[in-house]
Every structure is written in C-alpha cells, then in structure tokens.
Structure 1
Amino acid sequence: MAGHAEVKLVSNAMANTTRRKIMNLLLEMDLSKEDIGKAVGQSMLDYHLQILQQAGLIKIENNVASLTDFGRNFLESKGEKSERIEIRDARPVEVVEVKQLLPCIADTTKFRIIARMDPPLGGALKALEPLFPRGRYSERIGALIIQKGTVLITLYGTGNVTMTMIRDEAHAREILEELKRTINDAIEKGVTPAPKEKVRVDPMEVYRYLPGTNCRECGEQSCYSFAIRLVSGEVGLEKCKPLQEDKYATRLEHLRSLLAYL
C-alpha cells in the first residue's frame, strides 16, 4: 500500500491541468517530449514531466515518455478521460507531412499512408465528430475515425493521421486538404453541427480484413459468420486466433479502427 508521502506526490502531480493532459496523451501512445510540447505547450514542460516522474506515473527513456504500469493503472482505476477542448479554443491546422508506407493488405494496388497535422487537436476532436456522417470519436485510442468511401482515416489527438486504401500520394493530399478545410471552417465558426445518425459497419467490410482461413477456431463455420458476430458485438477480435499472428498485424490494426464505429 502506498504511504502518505507517495499519495501526496500523486495528488500533487494530478492536481494540475497540463499534467493531466500529458497523462491522457500518454494513455493513447508513447510520445517524444517534442510531441508532448506541441500538444500541451512548451511552458514549464520539463518541470511538469519531472513532477510526473517523481510521482512514479511516467518514465522517460531516450527522450520518449511513457506511462509506468502504476500510472496506467491509476488512470484506469480513476476512469480518467481526455480533457475536452472547446472547438472555439482550437487553432487552425496545417498538413505538415505525408509519407507513403506499405501496400494495403486488402488491396495491394492501394496504399497505407501516414501523415501529420499541426497543431495537434487533442480533445477538440470529440467536438468535430458531427462534421462527418461516417465519423466516430474513439475514447479508447483518442482519435476521430472517418470513413470516406473505401478510405479509412484515423485522426489522432496527437496530430498523427493514418489512411488506408489510398491510390497514391496525390490522392492522400487531396483528402487531407479537404479534411483540413472542413476542420478549419468549423474552428473559424466556433461551432459544429448537431450529431448525425451514424451509418452501421457492413459485415463485408470487416470480413475483407479477416485472415479468410475459415479455420473455425473461433467457433464459427466461416470467417464471414465471425464478421457478422463481430459487427453485432457478440464476440471480440481476440477470438480470432490467426489474427493475433504478427503477419496479420496491419489487418488487426485496421479492424480495431473499423470496429470503433460500433
């Protein structure tokens, strides 16, 4: 059991708004000090990180910060959520990087792209959700997930953007510019529209990213049957044993994003 001194350190660390934001960012993913500074500001950043380290909530190795097991357990036990930012308080974004990575697993003629928008939008992403008919904010990964035709876009609060089923870099830039215009228009107006009814995920969309082995290890007769149960929320992705293999890592990542609609 933690002593009085340890409890006091943690209480002091989490009493500050900036430090709470840092903790919630690290709940999504490990981040460099530079990325944290972009998200929360550079003012007294080293001091805030030092306080969190002294409380045993985070660790920093090779200039990259991550939650300790204690820090992660603390957030989960307290039910901490990403702090919301009003859309009127957000700053306009710019596309600062587009990089082509690998061919898509589902269609090797298409590409998976990673890009970056700056400044990071953080908790303002939740307020932007209604702008996109096929968009949903995921608390679990701290990202706004948008489907545009066959393209799946994941915009993280940290500023990173991933896209799948992209034709080429020009196609990626076209979508990013449209995304930027939509976001910046909302920021300029300071308001977002009322929430729209979400479109359900089609089981066939899910099926395309399953291994397709029909191995029946999940207890279903086929991968398509398993896809139907996934969409209905009756089973989780962990039931598909082949999907946990390293060679299916990209498919698993895509399915996690896709199923965030549900």
Structure 2
Amino acid sequence: MSENPNETKLVNFAMANSIRRKIINFLADGYRSTGEIGEIVEKATLGFHLKILKDAGLIELEEETVKLSEYGTNFLKGKKEKNAEEITDFSQAKPIEIARVKQVLPCIADSSKLRVSANMTPPLSGVLKLLEPLFPRSNYSDRKDSLIIQKGEIITTVYGSGKVSIRMVENEDEAKEELERLKSIINEAIAKGEAPAPREKAKVDLIEIYKYLPQTNCGKCGEQGCYSFAIKLMARQVTLERCTLLKEPEYASKQEHLQVLTSYI
C-alpha cells in the first residue's frame, strides 16, 4: 500500500477506533476466523469494522478467515517498535496530577459500593507498562493499554488515555484516598527517574477461577461443567463471554472478580 494522503487517512480512520485496534492486535499471532474475532468484539458490528480494516489495506478477508495483510503486518510491527522506543525513556516521564472526580455511580457488581471515574494528567501511555511492578497485584494489558490494580476488593484501572476507574469503594472519600495513594506511588517512581525492576507476574490458581464461576454445570457454554470451563479459561481457549449465566444480575459480582482474575492469565 503506497503512502499517499488518501490512503493514510483511511489507515488513520481505521486505527482511531478501539475495537478495530483490538482486532488488529488479535490478528498479530496469525489467521483468525470471524467466529473467533466475534468472541472478543460485538458480533453485530463485526462486519462493519472488518470492511473498514480491509478498505484501509490492513487485513485480508477470505470467506470466514481473516489475517493481517503485508501492509498491516508492517504497520503493526512499526507501531510496536515505536512504542518500545517510547517506554524505555522512563526518565522523561512527568509527575502526574489527578483531576477532580468526574463520575460517581453505584457499582454494577455490588450496588452498596461505588464506581468512580477521574482523569490523570499527563497521560502515562508511554510508561504505563513499566509501572506494573509498583503494585503487588497488577497486570498491564497491551491490547487495551491499561493497568489493572487490585487491592482487596478495590479494583483500579489506569488507561493510557489518562482515564482512571475505581470500582468497589465504600464512598467517594475512599476513592479519593486511593487516587492520592496511586498518585504518590507513581510520582515517587518518576522522581527516581528509572523504571522499577520487573517482577514475576501474579499467578492465578485454577481453583480460584472455578470458585467464582456459577458452578451450576448447565452446559450452556459447550463444556461438560464449570470445572472444565475453568480449565479452558486458564488455557485461553475460551472467553468469559461464553458463560451466559455470568450476565445475569445475581452473578454480577462473580463476573467482575473473574474479569480481573482472567487478566492475569
């Protein structure tokens, strides 16, 4: 694909959407079926997003099979190399500030708790991955450019865009305390001017995953039972979306815990 202005605009438009970026990263390991891609993005809009990526020359679509085009492979490789360059210079990171709390709503998993949104400035997209070792229970997602931090029941997600989300807090004051704690830890590391030493990833036990599943052995997921489903989750052969019971209100809390736990797999 040549680098003319119109084609560049098509690529920029295609990659401006988080769902399409997710699809491109998902294809980095090779061929995928449209069914597999439909498990990680909304199926109703899958065709629309695939068409845009194809028109931009980033993917090749043959019947029900999708793969990165040569241009798409080179584009993704170049993007990763650029990001790698950006995150190595930790000394250039600037101290952060937490903007005022923007939103306070009941937590989906437990209506007696709150979920709170705030903004962090400047955004830490370039060094977010390197901050992972600062927190005992945390995991960075390259696909979402987000850092999930767990402290007891409280789940904090920091996005590369600067958005910060805190779930399962008792009240707004507790959320503000967590935000101040987050700011203090990050700024202390930035002041040192060097990235924290990498640490071993937090490990998730199979029994821990199974504990939060419905344990009804209904078979709706296509597996013999919840334990078999847990094994498939640990092997990344299925996604949480396959368990339809988790979408019911009574399992909302379990689903939220599982979303965090599976991010460590």
Could you say what secondary structure the match of 1:185 adopts? Answer: helix
Aligned to 2:5: 9
* 1: CA distance, partners of 2:15 / 2:231: 33
Contact 1:90–1:187, Cα closer than 8 Å, also in 2: yes
CA distance in 2, matches of 1:237, 1:187: 36
1:102 and 2:106 are equivalent in the alignment = yes
Aligned-partner SS, 1:116: strand
Partners of 2:6 and 2:253 in 1: CA distance: 37
TM, length-normalised to structure 1: 0.65
Q: Is the 1:110–1:165 Cα contact (8 Å) retained in structure 2?
A: yes
The SS at the match of 2:179 is helix
The amino acid across from 1:70 in the alignment is: L
Cα distance in 1 between the residues matched to 2:114 and 2:149:
17
SS in 2 for 1:97: coil
Pick aligned residue for 2:52 from 57, 64, 69:
69
Percent of aligned pairs with the same residue?
Answer: 43
Q: Is the 8 A contact 1:103 1:110 kept in 2?
A: yes
Please name the residue that 1:187 is paired with. 190
Asked whether the equivalents of residues 153 and 164 of structure 1 are also in contact (C-alpha less than 8 Å), the reply is yes
How much has 1:240 moved relative to structure 2? 2.1
Q: Distance in 1 between matches of 2:118 and 2:140?
A: 19
The equivalent of 1:259 in structure 2 is: 262
Q: Which runs of 5+ in 1 are unaligned?
A: 31-65
| Contact in 2 for aligned 1:87/1:191 (Cα 8 Å) | yes
Q: Tell me, in whole angstroms, the C-alpha distance in 2 between the residues paired with 1:232 and 1:239.
A: 14
Matches within 5 A, 1:133-152: 133-152=136-155
Residues 88 and 190 of structure 1 are in contact (CA less than 8 Å); yes or no, is this contact kept in structure 2?
yes
1:184 alignment partner AA:
N
Calculate the aligned-residue CA RMSD, in Å.
3.9
What is the aligned partner in structure 2 of residue 235 from structure 1? 238
Matching of residue 200 in structure 1 with residue 203 in structure 2: yes
2:167 corresponds to: 164
TM-score, reference length from structure 2: 0.64
User: How far did 1:183 drift?
Assistant: 0.7
2:99 match: secondary structure? strand
Q: Kindly tell me the number of residue pairs found equivalent between the two proteins.
A: 217
Paired residues of 2:14 and 2:53 also in contact (CA < 8 A):
no
Aligned AA (1:129):
E
> What residue identity is the alignment partner of 2:106?
L
Cα deviation 1:117-153 (Å, max 9, x = unaligned):
1111112101212212222211110111111122221
Show the 5 A alignment for 1:32-47. Answer: none
